[in-house]
Amino acid sequence: MEATVEEVDRAVRSAHAVREALADRVARAAFLRAAAELLEESGEHIIEAADAETALGPARLTGELARTAAQLRAFAEVVDEGAYLDVHIDHPDASRTPPWPDLRRYKIPLGVVAVYAASNFPLAFSVPGGDTASALAAGCPVVVKAHPDHPATSELCASVLRRAAARTGLPENVLTVVHGFDAGVELIRHPLVSAAGFTGSVRGGRALFDAAAARPAPIPFHGELGSLNPVVVTAAAAAERAGEIGTGLGGSMTLGVGQFCTKPGFVLVPEGAAGDQLVKSLTETVSSTGSGVLLDHRMRDAFVTGVRERAALPGVDAPVTPGAAGEHTVSAGFLTVPAARLTADGPHDALLEECFGPVTVVARYASVDEIAAVLARLPGNLTATLQTAGDEARDPDAGPLLAALTPLAGRILVNGWPTGVAVAPAQHHGGPYPATTSTSTSVGATAIERWLRPVTYQSTPETLLPAELREDNPLGLPRRVDGRRA
């Protein structure tokens, strides 16, 4: 089933050949809505296939299918509105220094986009997922490198999207799928691929990122690689609601057997009685969580080895021991360590690296200065969370700690939990490296911006201008004219 070099070349060239068919915004929006409708109509078969390959369960997959369909419809609305084209028109002005000519700017699609599917989201971050939906919405054909953990699901979803294309008068080759590790490498190197989106490991993503940069003509590589997702619990918050925070943390870190990219994997908790109560509540919650199946044995082996090595470090305790529960399952747990051991380089640095699966690290701090010293050593993240007792009048540490967390992540939460990413226009799912390789988001309306580039026409006759930039605005697009919204 793995694609050969020739098959990858054929897939990319077939996608490149149909890019002009996606130029019609009305057809694109209809296609995205048809894809959502057909996914829902085929939902029973898709969920059955995905569950057989991932063991994520019908309930989780039903929710993911609904999210995927909603995401496609949301991008159809983005295409309809047209604001993503970012149209700017500046009329000639000889009074300026230097004088302004007639300038008209908008954004155009980059071309063929390579999408690398995720293991932990066989729908929402795979063949019909956000990278694919946003690239198609931008007018870019897509070649997906399917994930080896769910090849049948990938093919089933691809057939649905190709049927949606045919139903709305578009060529089926606006989306194709290839399989195999070597195919993924060939895909990023193909000269007709103009950009790539990736969700996966730091190691795999960095290798593809480097390959994208090493091409004779480098291309944008939007990779989501890994995230610790730190949480800071202030002393006031622990004193006020230790039990609630411990329960919430336990539910978030074990959700989906800890296989969410936004799992809270590192938590700073105060020393003392309130912190002890939080740890007790966390212990009760995690202890009552049943064992689960990880997506594949490679991930299971990495989890079991990772938690064993971390638990063996000096000063590390395991109130609930994570690890192997059976031949195919793992049990949830968490580790505790004095935060002072994490303020300088050393073997405990492993505790500041993501461990994929149902485990978190609770670091007990003695002072706000100790929190700051640990946060200064953290890598970039998708999320960062502050658990606080309220505003600065009730919790004077809240403001400074929120400011310290902000540089670390793309989404900052206060008194919530990071698992669960709403598909909303204001959403940002990205963060400083290694969370992502760019400043873009892979969730929300602005994810479309990754697959576009701006072009300005200067002093161009009206009859030669694209319709989007003509003076009478025949397409009714939102735009800025001479610096004002029109």
224 classed as catalytic: yes
Q: Give the C-alpha separation, 134 to 147, whole Å.
A: 19
Sign for the CA dihedral angle at 230, 234, 239, 244 comes to: negative
CA distance 397 to 409: 19
261 labelled catalytic: yes
**Rounded CA gap, 99 and 442, in Å?**
40
- Which residue out of 224, 354, 370, 468 is catalytically annotated? 224
Tokens of 153: 């699901």
Closest CA to 356 of 287, 306, 316, 318: 306
The angle subtended at Cα 177 by Cα 172 and Cα 182, nearest 5°, is 150
- In this structure, the strands spanning 452-458 and 103-109 are antiparallel
Give the number of residues written for the chain: 486
Gap between the terminal Cα atoms of the chain: 52
Strand runs (DSSP E) across 212-304, as ranges?
221-224, 230-233, 266-270, 292-293
* DSSP 8-class letter at 427: -
Contact 243, 281 (CB under 8 A): yes
Coil/strand/helix, residue 96: coil
Annotated active-site residue in 53, 261, 354, 355: 261
Count the neighbouring beta carbons within 10 Å of the beta carbon of residue 81: 15
Question: Phi and psi at residue 258, in whole multiples of 5°?
Answer: 65, 20
Contact 289, 254 (CB under 8 A): yes
The token pair at 302 is: 């990495």
Chain centre distance of CA 131: 9
Ramachandran quadrant class, 26 (left: phi over 0; alpha: psi -120 to 50; beta: rest): alpha
Active site residues: 224, 261
